């Protein structure tokens, strides 16, 4: 599996992150571990999504995650699986996975 590579952007394009509700929170809030399964994993993801849903830059975050093909964590109130479902069927990421 390849590491996510953010799309080329200027410094101004990253300003949205300064307004994000997740700024300053522990990264672990938005990433689950392999040990978390079932209800515990669902609760962890829902906690992160609740933070995202109140975020003023939610859409910008989701757009970034889709463009960068983020394969881990909660971005824009979505899980990796939810982001895969949002991508067009002909996207490179889905062709690679298929």
At 20-58, the pLDDT tens digits run: 999 999 999 999 998 999 999 999 999 999 999 999 999
Q: What angle do CA 5, 9, 15 make, to 5 degrees?
A: 110
* 88 burial via Cβ count (<10 Å: 0-12, 13-18, 19+): exposed
Residue 76 is labelled as binding a ligand? no
How far apart are alpha carbons 98 and 8 in whole angstroms? 26
pLDDT-derived band at 98 (thresholds 50, 70, 90) equals: low
Q: Are 84 and 71 in contact (CB under 8 A)?
A: no
Q: What are the backbone dihedrals phi and psi of residue 37, each rounded to the nearest 5 degrees, phi first?
A: -135, 160
Residue 52 is labelled as binding a ligand? yes
Residue 61 is labelled as binding a ligand? yes
The DSSP letter of residue 86 is H
Structure pTM?
A: 0.77
Q: Are 72 and 33 in contact (CB under 8 A)?
A: no
Q: What pLDDT sits at residue 8?
A: 54
Angle of the 38-53 helix axis to the 58-68 helix axis, nearest 10: 120
């Amino acid at each position: 599996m390849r590491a996510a590579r953010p799309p080329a952007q200027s410094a101004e394009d990253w300003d949205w992150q300064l307004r994000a509700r997740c700024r300053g929170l522990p990264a672990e809030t938005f990433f689950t571990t392999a040990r978390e399964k079932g209800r515990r994993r669902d609760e962890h993801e829902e906690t992160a999504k609740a933070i995202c849903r109140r975020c003023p830059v939610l859409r910008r975050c989701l757009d970034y995650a889709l463009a960068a093909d983020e394969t881990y964590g909660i971005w824009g109130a979505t899980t990796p699986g939810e982001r895969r479902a949002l991508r067009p069927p002909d996207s490179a990421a889905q062709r690679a996975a298929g």
